[in-house]
Chain A
């Protein structure tokens, strides 16, 4: 199956700093990637849809200036949490969509645990 990686797997930062999370599709080109946020013991919440070469589409209630998404190539999307605060601490998961498969399957990365002190 298609492999998606995320880096870093875990990050701890001070309040007010910015953190960048990378999502890569390792063996396929992903025209679309998704970013999710998961709070403890809760389901995944879609934050935004990232399309290569265009602006990301954010879900209602997600601040686009807070969560900057860049999909610079067909294999890389980045999520930058700007001026992070403790309430941004969460598990962030990306996924990649392989359009040619025709079955809407998304391939998920292993996730990034962000802790803001």
Chain B
């Protein structure tokens, strides 16, 4: 069975500081991994995705994530937080041809001025 764990339901950083949002997955087969961002009352916007190519994935808005198979992790990072990064972030895993997404519980990022 597949599952996703996001450590930390709330993360608060200062503007300009490093952003680190954690995601660990469980999958018996090579997974596809995704990070999405959600602003209030809106749908999900894809930040980046891992599809078995490069393990370091660069996404939009300066975000990147590294797939570490040995740690079953796919943490999201951004070197310097911006006020506009304040939102909720979801990690998701999908495997094989089933194409179902299993979402983590989400991490709300707060950026302090």
Residues of A within 8 A of B (CB): 1, 4, 6, 32, 34, 42-44, 46, 49, 91, 93, 95, 97, 99, 103-111, 113
Instruction: Using C-beta atoms within 8 Å of the partner chain, give the interface range for chain B.
Output: 20 to 34
Is B34 a contact partner of A105 (Cβ separation < 8 A)? Answer: yes
Residues of B within 8 A of A (CB): 32, 34, 36, 41-46, 49, 51, 90, 94-95, 99-101, 103-106
Question: Which B residues are in CB contact (< 8 Å) with A97?
Answer: 99
Question: Which A residues are in CB contact (< 8 Å) with B101?
Answer: 34, 44, 46, 95, 106
Is B90 a contact partner of A43 (Cβ separation < 8 A)? Answer: yes
Question: Which B residues are in CB contact (< 8 Å) with A43?
Answer: 90, 103-106
Q: Main SS of the interface on chain A?
A: strand
- 8 further A-B contacts with Cβ under 8 Å, apart from A93-B44, A95-B44, A106-B99, are A44-B90, A44-B101, A46-B100, A46-B101, A93-B43, A105-B32, A111-B41, A111-B42
